[in-house]
Structure 1
Amino acid sequence: MLRLRPISSPTLSRIPSVHLQSPALVKPFLQPRNPSGTRLRYFFLRALCVSSSSSSPVVPQISHSSKSFDSADIQPYLSCCIPNKRLRVAVLLSGGVDSSVALRLLHAAGHSCTAFYLKIWFQEDFENFWSECPWEEDLKYAKAVCNQVDVPLEVVHLTDEYWKNVVSYIIEEYRCGRTPNPDVLCNTRIKFGAFMDAISSMEFDYVASGHYANIVHSSEEQTDNPSVLELSKDMVKDQTYFLSHLSQAQLKRLIFPLGCIPKDEVRKLATNFDLPNKDRKDSQGICFLGKIKFSEFVARQIGEREGVILEAETGDFLGIHRGFWFYTIGQRQGLRLPGGPWYVVQKDVKNNVVFVSRNYFSFDKRRRTFRVGSLKWLSGLPPNQLCQLRCKVQLLVIAFDSCSPHDSLTFIYSLKKIKNKFRL
């Protein structure tokens, strides 16, 4: 386990590519001793980062006073916040609307909150891609939200951990022709993994975030019972899939204040709270890339190797591709083939061949059964009844060439909500 020690006299030069508003705002670092002198991985600082670029996005300056409304109006929204107790809660704050509303609800429930912004950008490695600090705007919004209710904000640098535990794994999976989900890995290994380890000595009762999911904890008298991850009230925004690999040790420490609230009401709450980011669009890109095209990132890490695109049914030659790792089973966008729509249905990793078909949804391809693997039982043990399970099929599509750098690169398409019970 990584042990963090306070350093009594922090040095500003140790902070890479960051300018601080005032040295007086700097909080003593908490970071591991590193005798080799290499870049230290963890540090917390209570300061607002500003870019040296003059083209920085403008974020409204919010005073410490904010619009308030009757507490009775908020009370119905606190059911997922463990009300009627005063807890110490570490809140993951991204600068977006969801996590900001979650923070305000926890604050309204009477909890003592500390906000944390996780910095995982590869700023030094991708300086040629960015004309300005890519996380600057998010952090400014997070700071403005915290200023409204005097909640302290800490910045946690987890770039090395993210690269080692998420990005490196994703790259190797792409080399093997598979398409892992970065959000599942990020939640398990970073947000509720490395981050929880980093604050383990700070004695928080719970960690909270703006995920659309619900956790039911056992009573204080039944602490040995498992915590249960349940679907959120908003089935369209539900994010339990991205939390499906969490362990019981992680679940028992989590609160998701938005699990009981539909998305449209979260937006209304943001307006009622007069949040500075109340009109911000939801972030849907891959979290560590921001405005960088995923295809550019993959090309830089794996390279390119020309291969052929064949029609799955006939074996006819249709075109050339840059490498099978740029394609995902089920992908439609970005193929640039005439006479479509075409869908990727198979990849020959050994021979670098991508097979496509126009008959992805044809009658003869319908399936009533499928095989699943690597099941994760959140309780730690399989349920008593395994003969019938209810499933939801989702497809992760990475759209490469068809998206601009400002568009979302990851799309989760819910193909269908399977209401029938499958016998596995």
Structure 2
Amino acid sequence: MKRVVVGLSGGVDSSVAAYLLKEQGYEVIGLFMKNWHDDSVTISNECPWLEDSNDALLVAEKLGIPFQTVDLSEEYKDRIVDYMFKEYENGRTPNPDVLCNREIKFDVFMKIALSLGADYVATGHYCRKGILEKDGKEIYQLLAGIDNNKDQSYFLCQLSQEQLSKSLFPIGELTKPQVREIASKLDLITAEKKDSQGLCFIGKVRLPEFLQQQLQPKEGIIIEIDKNDPIYSIDKPTFESLEEQLNFDSQPYHYLPTMGKIVGKHQGAHYFTIGQRKGLNVGGTKEALFIIATDIETNTIYTGQGQTHLGLFRKTLKVQPQEIHWIREDLRLNNGETMEVMARIRYRQALQKATLHQFESGLFVVFDEPQSAITEGQFVAWNSKDELVGSGVIS
């Protein structure tokens, strides 16, 4: 009997994952991760970790599997929370969920599970694992979940072959309604529980308050750039090479305060992100204002009216060499090579047609259609059909 440690989060997905594994004949152990917690910034009644760990315990009892809690708050603070503060301080927008999977669930947590003699670690992610044979060697695939509406492969875009080899995703073949139905039939306490929307296991956090713990408020101005500003119709220079052109195309627009008009004030450019509409508190415009750029050096926020404002769109982005990650190492591009893929720059975005261009200076992702709010610090992930093959941090 193979032993599997399930990350029981106190939600319905991991509860059903544990049940399915037990049905398949595995020896199942439930482990709840206590991650970093700070009551001062949590929206108190939304998913405090205590309630979640109690629910996880009740599920384990109901399924008749051993259960324990591991406290990973120190590692979580080091690897996720501190990293987030640093990224925001530098004007980038990190994705804590992708990082939490890479650094905590499939690293720290996985090592604990393996030390308990586990053969595998299982989670309640909506994705699937495939196995290919190539040159006499097994290659692991990260495949999209069957439920298009819930596919979570994007959140696992930074996993390695080693991590995938030891992972199981029992609910990847099911839809969310089917998972809830199984939980209801088993009369599990989590059957009707709402999905947690918080930062991967922190619970719901008020982001500005969370950031204000380390990043001091600092008043600055909000500037509105007209959609017909000359910056959007500048003639492109001539380029010596494709690499030079892609480098140029991947640069965001550089705005100056003199290009627009002051429409309000803010408490710190590092609290805001591109594409954001809420929290600006500026009224009196015909269409809603969207953030098109933030300048940390001058503490300035640039905005434009409406979600079709040209400042929101770009077709090309760049991933620095050290940030390129291939789940499928065998498909890695050599310098000068290209690959047609389907890519996305955020969870829930429909896959978009794109071409990868690999150069020594980095990897360029060129979309067929302009993309809204390409944001530095977020992850771009690329697929071949329903398989996620690689990803990288947008630079």
* Aligned counterparts of 1:133 and 1:281: Cα–Cα separation in 2: 9
Q: Once the 2 structures are TM-superposed, how far is the Cα of residue 327 of structure 1 from its aligned partner?
A: 0.5
Q: How does 1:120-139 map to 2 (within 5 A)?
A: 120-123=35-38, 126=40, 134-139=48-53
* Aligned counterparts of 1:346 and 1:151: Cα–Cα separation in 2: 51
* Aligned counterparts of 1:306 and 1:334: Cα–Cα separation in 2: 14
The Cα offsets for residues 193-246 of structure 1, whole Å up to 9 and x where unpaired, read as 111222332221100000111111357x98832211111111221111111111
The answer (yes or no) to whether the contact 1:324–1:353 under 8 Å persists in 2 is yes
Q: Which residue of 2 aligns with 1:198?
A: 112
Q: Give the % identical residues.
A: 36
**Amino acid of the structure 2 residue aligned with 1:238:** D
Q: Once the 2 structures are TM-superposed, how far is the Cα of residue 300 of structure 1 from its aligned partner?
A: 1.1
* Aligned counterparts of 2:175 and 2:74: Cα–Cα separation in 1: 35
RMSD: 2.7
User: SS at the partner of 1:230?
Assistant: strand
Change over 3 Å in CA distance of 1:307–1:368 after alignment to 2: closer
TM-score, normalised by the number of residues in structure 2? 0.74
Q: Once the 2 structures are TM-superposed, how far is the Cα of residue 391 of structure 1 from its aligned partner?
A: 2.7
Q: How does 1:223-242 map to 2 (within 5 A)?
A: 224-242=137-155
* Aligned counterparts of 1:223 and 1:120: Cα–Cα separation in 2: 40
TM-score, normalised by the number of residues in structure 1? 0.69
User: SS at the partner of 1:329?
Assistant: coil
* Aligned counterparts of 1:347 and 1:281: Cα–Cα separation in 2: 34
**Amino acid of the structure 2 residue aligned with 1:392:** A
Q: Once the 2 structures are TM-superposed, how far is the Cα of residue 370 of structure 1 from its aligned partner?
A: 4.1
Q: Which residue of 2 aligns with 1:246?
A: 159
The answer (yes or no) to whether the contact 2:47–2:204 under 8 Å persists in 1 is no
Q: Once the 2 structures are TM-superposed, how far is the Cα of residue 129 of structure 1 from its aligned partner?
A: 8.0
* Aligned counterparts of 2:319 and 2:135: Cα–Cα separation in 1: 33
Change over 3 Å in CA distance of 1:384–1:133 after alignment to 2: closer
Q: Which residue of 2 aligns with 1:37?
A: none
The answer (yes or no) to whether the contact 1:394–1:413 under 8 Å persists in 2 is no
Q: Does 1:329 align with 2:279?
A: no
Q: Once the 2 structures are TM-superposed, how far is the Cα of residue 251 of structure 1 from its aligned partner?
A: 0.9
Choose 148-157 or 258-267, whichever is displaced more: 258-267
The answer (yes or no) to whether the contact 2:344–2:351 under 8 Å persists in 1 is yes
Q: Once the 2 structures are TM-superposed, how far is the Cα of residue 172 of structure 1 from its aligned partner?
A: 0.3
* Aligned counterparts of 2:143 and 2:290: Cα–Cα separation in 1: 33
* Aligned counterparts of 2:46 and 2:172: Cα–Cα separation in 1: 35
Q: Once the 2 structures are TM-superposed, how far is the Cα of residue 281 of structure 1 from its aligned partner?
A: 0.7
**Amino acid of the structure 1 residue aligned with 2:176:** K
* Aligned counterparts of 1:126 and 1:210: Cα–Cα separation in 2: 29
User: SS at the partner of 1:259?
Assistant: coil
Q: Which residue of 2 aligns with 1:389?
A: 340
User: SS at the partner of 1:277?
Assistant: coil
* Aligned counterparts of 1:132 and 1:337: Cα–Cα separation in 2: 29
Q: Which residue of 2 aligns with 1:319?
A: 264
The Cα offsets for residues 65-107 of structure 1, whole Å up to 9 and x where unpaired, read as xxxxxxxxxxxxxxxxxxxxx3210000000001101011111
Change over 3 Å in CA distance of 1:394–1:133 after alignment to 2: closer
* Aligned counterparts of 2:46 and 2:306: Cα–Cα separation in 1: 45
The answer (yes or no) to whether the contact 1:171–1:301 under 8 Å persists in 2 is yes
Change over 3 Å in CA distance of 1:391–1:337 after alignment to 2: farther
Q: Which residue of 2 aligns with 1:69?
A: none
Q: Which residue of 1 aligns with 2:351?
A: 417
- 2:299 corresponds to which of 352, 363, 370: 352
Change over 3 Å in CA distance of 1:130–1:278 after alignment to 2: closer
Q: Once the 2 structures are TM-superposed, how far is the Cα of residue 390 of structure 1 from its aligned partner?
A: 2.3
* Aligned counterparts of 1:232 and 1:278: Cα–Cα separation in 2: 20
User: SS at the partner of 1:191?
Assistant: helix
**Amino acid of the structure 2 residue aligned with 1:361:** T
Q: How does 1:101-116 map to 2 (within 5 A)?
A: 101-116=16-31
Q: Which residue of 2 aligns with 1:39?
A: none
Give the structure with the higher percent strand. Answer: 2
Choose 222-231 or 347-356, whichever is displaced more: 222-231
* Aligned counterparts of 2:41 and 2:150: Cα–Cα separation in 1: 34
* Aligned counterparts of 1:104 and 1:330: Cα–Cα separation in 2: 40
* Aligned counterparts of 1:227 and 1:243: Cα–Cα separation in 2: 13
* Aligned counterparts of 2:13 and 2:59: Cα–Cα separation in 1: 12
Q: Which residue of 1 aligns with 2:245?
A: none
The answer (yes or no) to whether the contact 2:41–2:209 under 8 Å persists in 1 is no
Q: Does 1:303 align with 2:254?
A: no
Q: Which residue of 2 aligns with 1:40?
A: none
Q: Which residue of 1 aligns with 2:10?
A: 95
**Amino acid of the structure 1 residue aligned with 2:74:** D
The Cα offsets for residues 357-399 of structure 1, whole Å up to 9 and x where unpaired, read as 114414797555444443310123444695333233344xxxx
User: SS at the partner of 1:390?
Assistant: strand
The answer (yes or no) to whether the contact 2:292–2:312 under 8 Å persists in 1 is no
Q: Once the 2 structures are TM-superposed, how far is the Cα of residue 264 of structure 1 from its aligned partner?
A: 1.8
Q: Once the 2 structures are TM-superposed, how far is the Cα of residue 421 of structure 1 from its aligned partner?
A: 4.5
Q: Does 1:179 align with 2:128?
A: no
Instruction: Identify which of structures 1 and 2 has the higher relative contact order when contacts are C-alpha pairs closer than 8 Å and 6+ apart.
Output: 2
Change over 3 Å in CA distance of 1:413–1:212 after alignment to 2: closer
Q: Which residue of 2 aligns with 1:268?
A: 181
Q: Which residue of 1 aligns with 2:233?
A: none
The answer (yes or no) to whether the contact 2:12–2:183 under 8 Å persists in 1 is yes
User: SS at the partner of 2:221?
Assistant: strand
User: SS at the partner of 1:145?
Assistant: helix
**Amino acid of the structure 2 residue aligned with 1:297:** F
The answer (yes or no) to whether the contact 2:59–2:189 under 8 Å persists in 1 is yes
* Aligned counterparts of 1:129 and 1:227: Cα–Cα separation in 2: 39
